[in-house]
Structure 1
Amino acid sequence: MTKSSLSTNSPASHRRWIGLAAGCAALVSLTAGALPAAAADGAGPAPDAAAGAEVRVRLDEAALQGLMVPDKVASGTMARVSAPGVRWTGVTGGLSQDPAASFRIGSVTKLFTSTVVLQLVAEGRFTLDTPVQRILPGTLPAHWAPITVGQLLSHTSGLGRPCVAPENPQAPTPAAVVAAVTDPACPAPEYPVTRQQYNGINHFLAGMVIEKATGRSYADEVQRRIVRPLGLRHTYLPAAGDTSMPAPSLAAPSEVEPWAWAEGGMISNAPDLERFLGALLRGRLLPPAQQRELFAMPALAQGARDPMSRAGLLRAELPDGTVVWGKTGSMEPYTSGLFGTADGRRVLTYAYTGVTRDPEVQRTRALDLVAAAF
């Protein structure tokens, strides 16, 4: 993303929105190891959904501290690990030492969006097989093949990236961002879909589905359904155009103008995120049928380098066989991640201020942090 002072018609401004809708993050996901064959569509939870329940009690603090030393990847890092018998927090590089320090969570926002969508499915508002075209008539071209709500969450919609700048790119509406993908100049979605392809446009559409189904704003629904019930005092979606950060914040505010709405726009802190993921994984936010979607892997995730569940959770299998689930995100100036064992007993939250935007370097750092924490 680029500075807000760019001309709205400049090539750099155009690239900004293409990059934003691609995920608002250079790092999109991570994993190690292939999926079990039984983890296909309709097979229910992956056989390893409960794996990782018996993780070690002791924490490799030395490994975590070594990864947090300022270097060519990160100028400062915050990491927090919570488990029975373990509560560890480390901060380096001049970041705030306040445990309540807030930061922009980028694409970790998608977990909140997916959770609200699954709650609406549980209420019978629609199903994961309902075409988006039925809920949002006229939003997608009539000649496109149906795209279902479930395909949005699992990144199997076949949607491409924006090929034009949206109307009013400094403060676009969600509909304008989607229109930048559906413009006649853009290619139609891949059909039949042959692969899982991470794309932030999926969650812009998911946010629009939430608003259409409820008659309320996306921000209001996240507050009503997740934030208030869990007592997340530092978690919210800023209003459009609000570039401020609450005090204390983990690092000095960036000059970049943030905006990614239901795809990547939320602000939170480590204790709130830890509570959210723990509650999600332990089944406090979803009924059993929708809870199973957290760990069920779509058929198109088979063989993917970075597989995601039907609910959009990343699956990472560590060298010792431990399986963890979560999400990464990036929104200037932060790169962040949130991972836990399937039973929610151990959770890692991290955020760092990046030196490089190289996705492979960021991916490696995420894998290393996860491996040290579990």
Structure 2
Amino acid sequence: MTSQTFPTDHTTATVRSRRKRLPLPGLACMALTAVVLSTAAPALAAPAASPAAVVAASKPDLPKLNAAALQAAVEGSSVSATAMLARVSGPAGQWTGTSGVADVTTGEAVPADGRFRLGSVTKMFIGTVVLQLAAEDQVELDRPVQEYLPGVLPAEYPPISVRQLLDYTSGLPELTAGDLPTDPQGIVDHRFDDHTFGELVAMAVKHPRLFDRPGSMQSYGATGYYVAALLVEKLTGRSYQREITDRILLPLNLRHTTAPETDTTIPGPHAHGYIDLSPAHDKTGLVDITEQNPGAGGMISTGADLDRFLTALFRGRLLPPPQLDEMFTVPNVPYLGGSDQDPGHGRAFYGAGPMRVTFPNGVTVRGKTGSTFGYTDGMFATRDLKRRLVYSFNPVTGGGNDRRIVNQIITAAFGS
């Protein structure tokens, strides 16, 4: 099998804002390209090194579900994470697995139905709401966002369309490691800090734009979704969390998913998140950072709920056909800093939220990854929903920083 890199003990496995608050990594945690996360600066998006295959002319068959590879991937997470859970669903095979401990003090087992923080997976919910507003004729995707949100972006900026916010072609600059604490002790000390979207955007736009002409390139980042969330709030007069709750969580009966505005805790069963303050990151200096400021990346969910969300989204329950096509459309532009080794082979590989990844065996999946301090997660599915994957693990050196775990679990699910 061709290897590939994705753009973040007790083991069991069974076959079968306050308004506008933001935890420091939040939506800014980097893309796992199909899935790569960097630890140096959670606010910076890094090009991924990943699948190098061309989509087959005819739809390829899914490989047989490889329970051994999935179990090995889950068990292998114990080196750099305290816990992991994974769930594969769909008519092409079902499987669940956990590893590690939910609490290093008590040794409690990881609950397979445990809740976890979503980080940048929240972008999929924000993007869905914006596209719903477009379907309701409350916003025009080709209209400059400056017309809806005057004064949010510098006056000298060129027009940036709403669509360009969603598909990562805006060229908006990103927060850097110098804007917010990203070292382990800084993460511990500042995990309850409160930053409004306006403050985060204001910090980001002090840096040079990523490229001159909006729409000419793609580069994964968070600033565009800060602005998109502000847009939701301007158009509806309510917090983006409230809109997500009323438009998505309640209609789909996602009872274990929340979009908290002020609550710093994780309700219900969950694995704790930790960060290791020891220089060697050998788990000798673990500090519990489960509780942290919610906000842009502060949604909380479970594997079952994310699977339900993906299924409803792909089947068109949340978006009419034109808007669903919009979400899945990948712009035909270069990827900034891209190469033949990334999912787009140097070209864009994100739509209006989800990424598109094709494995060497020809199987193509779409989905999203996310990370916030102490939690890294992702959800992927084939377009026909025959196989779906949701996973979450708890890295000890920050959010979204162990590509090995991500590589193994996604490849085991789809690429074996």
Matches of residues 93-242 of structure 1 in structure 2 within 5 Å? 93-95=100-102, 96-162=109-175, 165=179, 170-183=193-206, 186-188=207-209, 190-193=211-214, 194-240=216-262, 242=263
**Aligned-partner residue type, residue 218 of structure 1:** Y
Q: Distance in 2 between matches of 1:368 and 1:87?
A: 17
What is the SS of the residue equivalent to 2:150? coil
Q: Are 1:101 and 1:250, in contact at CA under 8 Å, matched by a contact in 2? A: yes
Q: Distance in 1 between matches of 2:246 and 2:218?
A: 31
CA displacement 1:24-67 (0-9 Å, x = unmatched): 2474543413677xxxxxxxxxx98x956x424x4211001111
Distance change in 2, residues 1:310/1:86 (3 Å): closer
Q: Are 1:114 and 1:312, in contact at CA under 8 Å, matched by a contact in 2? A: yes
Offset, 1:219:
0.9
Q: Distance in 1 between matches of 2:412 and 2:34?
A: 17
Matches of residues 264-279 of structure 1 in structure 2 within 5 Å? 264-279=297-312
1:296 to 326, 329, 345: 329
Distance change in 2, residues 1:127/1:260 (3 Å): farther
Matches of residues 48-63 of structure 1 in structure 2 within 5 Å? 51=59, 54-56=61-63, 58-63=64-69
Distance change in 2, residues 1:257/1:156 (3 Å): farther
Paired position in structure 2 for 1:72: 79
Q: Are 1:32 and 1:316, in contact at CA under 8 Å, matched by a contact in 2? A: yes
2:292 aligned with 1:258: yes
Q: Please, what TM-score do these two structures have when normalized by structure 2?
A: 0.74
Greater shift after overlay, 244-253 or 200-209? 244-253
> Percent identity of the aligned residues?
40
Q: Which runs of 5+ in 2 are unaligned?
A: 1-21, 36-49, 103-108, 181-189, 275-287
Paired position in structure 2 for 1:285: 318
Paired position in structure 1 for 2:17: none
Distance change in 2, residues 1:200/1:62 (3 Å): same
Q: Are 2:367 and 2:381, in contact at CA under 8 Å, matched by a contact in 1? A: yes
2:50 aligned with 1:20: no
Q: Distance in 1 between matches of 2:65 and 2:54?
A: 27
Offset, 1:196:
1.4
Q: Distance in 1 between matches of 2:145 and 2:54?
A: 28
Distance change in 2, residues 1:116/1:51 (3 Å): farther
Q: Are 2:306 and 2:390, in contact at CA under 8 Å, matched by a contact in 1? A: yes
**Aligned-partner residue type, residue 170 of structure 1:** D
Distance change in 2, residues 1:301/1:248 (3 Å): farther
2:259 aligned with 1:246: no
> Could you say which structure has the higher helix fraction?
1
**Aligned-partner residue type, residue 83 of structure 1:** G
Distance change in 2, residues 1:116/1:221 (3 Å): same
CA RMSD of the aligned region, Å? 2.9
Distance change in 2, residues 1:173/1:51 (3 Å): farther
Offset, 1:107:
0.7
Distance change in 2, residues 1:196/1:22 (3 Å): farther
Offset, 1:179:
1.1
Q: Distance in 1 between matches of 2:210 and 2:396?
A: 34
Q: Are 2:168 and 2:350, in contact at CA under 8 Å, matched by a contact in 1? A: no
Q: Please, what TM-score do these two structures have when normalized by structure 1?
A: 0.82
Offset, 1:85:
5.7
Distance change in 2, residues 1:71/1:139 (3 Å): same
Offset, 1:225:
0.8
Paired position in structure 2 for 1:309: 350
Greater shift after overlay, 72-81 or 156-165? 156-165
Q: Distance in 2 between matches of 1:258 and 1:106?
A: 12
Q: Are 1:80 and 1:89, in contact at CA under 8 Å, matched by a contact in 2? A: yes
Greater shift after overlay, 85-94 or 149-158? 85-94
Q: Distance in 2 between matches of 1:71 and 1:287?
A: 42
Q: Which runs of 5+ in 1 are unaligned?
A: 1-16, 37-46
Greater shift after overlay, 207-216 or 362-371? 362-371
1:326 to 339, 351, 367: 367
Offset, 1:345:
2.6
